[in-house]
Structure 1
Amino acid sequence: MQLRNVVSLVLLILSVPLQIYLMRYNREIKEYILQLFKSLPDELYDSDYVMDYIDPRPYLWSIFDYAVPTTQDVEESEIPKDDIHEFRPPHLKYRVGDVVLTYDLSIAVVVGWSIDMSDLTKEPVYVLLIENKNESSLEQQDRMLLLLDVEVHHTMIEHYFEKFDGTRYLPRDWLKKMYPKDV
């Protein structure tokens, strides 16, 4: 094998861990990359294929029905039995309140998850609040990385969580009732 091929292969293998390391420990690089994505032309997003792939609005779950302006109303309301996740599959990596980095380099907090109970071999899907975008998103487990000691800024954080303990967000009582095994 030629030296050039070996060097190319080594650079390719090291590029992903290097990107993850830089994104985790250097906030300036993340801001630079976000600015770069924001500067992309709007025509890129006009494609129906791109919008169908990115837009999570058709898939939002019942967890968002509880995110009303007053948290007291949510605490006092009865949560339907279908919305309570009594069983937590052992292969789930993330819990409600965990801060994650998504494949598109967005920092987000997990507010819920769902899995097909008839086939537990399928990948779980997580509901996320994306930092600084006032958006929610759905993401598969294998497309996220856990972040520690990172606080997320989103307008709906106080509706879902009581506080940030330095490592993760502590869910409100109604969210604890929906995901009792995540606490």
Structure 2
Amino acid sequence: MPRLTRRDTVQLCLLLLVVPFQFWLSHEFRQPRPVLKAIMEFMDSCQGSLTLYGSKFWESILFLLEDMRGSPGQQDNLPGESPAIEVLEYRNIQNNMFASSTLPRYSRSPDIHFRIGDVVLHKHKQLRGVIVGWDYKAQAPAEYLKDFYKTKEQNQPNYLIAIDTRDRINPQFTYTPDENLQLLTNVHVIHPNLEEYFERYDGSRYIPRPWLQAIYPKD
């Protein structure tokens, strides 16, 4: 077996550290995509100057990070919903967007087929998740609606869904129209943020915490 040089040893150690470091960040911050974006920007800035270990080494690191982050072609974009982005990150800077309004929904129309706490399946992407909020019709920035929505999808109820991490390894939320969803029963969803919204799972749906129930009193 050939003996590893110092350069080879450093390369191997860094490669072995990338994956557990990313998982630690995902668990620690519960916002893996922004963290990975920052890592990617750092790596891009370093790639030109840290040439000690060769371009192939940095290409390998960047490839691993891209694979963990998910390339744009893997997002399976569909009209009428967000791509696989961290919707909550966008909500933080957009008041009352993506089911973030705290105004109580005192009425329910027949077009609203699901409730907060319902476990649903995205019929096109085959993603399981639990509904953590909904709007009477799509509430999103104009440019967002222009890019991802048709008029029909804009004018029907839209739901914010916490996606099961068995279907998307990085904790994610998606915002999607009513027509894309199918109710599931006896399905338990895994997502690190569910305890913020729900007290427990009763075997068929998640029971909302009092603050969330107050926003959706008819659910």
**Shared fold, TM over 0.5:** yes
Match in the other structure for 2:126: 105
CA deviations on 1:57-115 (whole Å, 9 max, x unpaired) are 3763659998xxxxxxxxxxxxx8x6211111122110000000012111000011101
Cα RMSD of the aligned pairs, angstroms, is 3.7
TM-score scaled by structure 1?
Answer: 0.57
Counterpart of 1:173, as a letter, is P
Match for residue 115 of structure 1?
136
User: What is the 5 A alignment of 1:48-127?
Assistant: 54=83, 55=85, 57=87, 60=91, 62=96, 83-102=103-122, 103-116=124-137, 122-127=155-160
Task: Choose from 161, 169, 193 the match for 1:128.
Answer: 161
Q: Using the alignment, how far apart are the partners of 1:113 and 1:85 within structure 2?
A: 9
Q: Tell me which of 22, 40, 44 is aligned to 2:73.
A: 44
Q: Which runs of 5+ in 1 are unaligned?
A: 1-37, 67-79
- Alignment length (residue pairs): 125
Q: Distance in 1 between matches of 2:205 and 2:125?
A: 21
Q: Secondary structure at the match of 1:97?
A: coil
Q: CA deviation at 1:150?
A: 0.1
Give 5+ residue unaligned stretches, structure 2. 1-66, 139-153
Q: Please name the residue that 2:179 is paired with.
A: 142
When Rg is computed on C-alpha atoms for both structures, the one with the higher figure is 2
Shift of 1:44: 2.2
Contact 1:63 1:112 in 2 (8 A): no
1:8-47 aligned within 5 A: 42=71, 44-45=73-74
TM-score using structure 2 length:
0.48
Q: Structure 1: how far apart are the matches of 2:214 and 2:196?
A: 15
- Choose which of 192, 199, 207 in structure 2 pairs with 1:162: 199
Give the Cα separation in 1 of the matches to 2:114 and 2:104: 17
Alignment partners' CA distance in 1, 2:98 and 2:195: 13
Is 1:180 the equivalent of 2:213?
Answer: no
Moved over 4 A (4+): 61-66
Q: Secondary structure at the match of 2:195?
A: helix
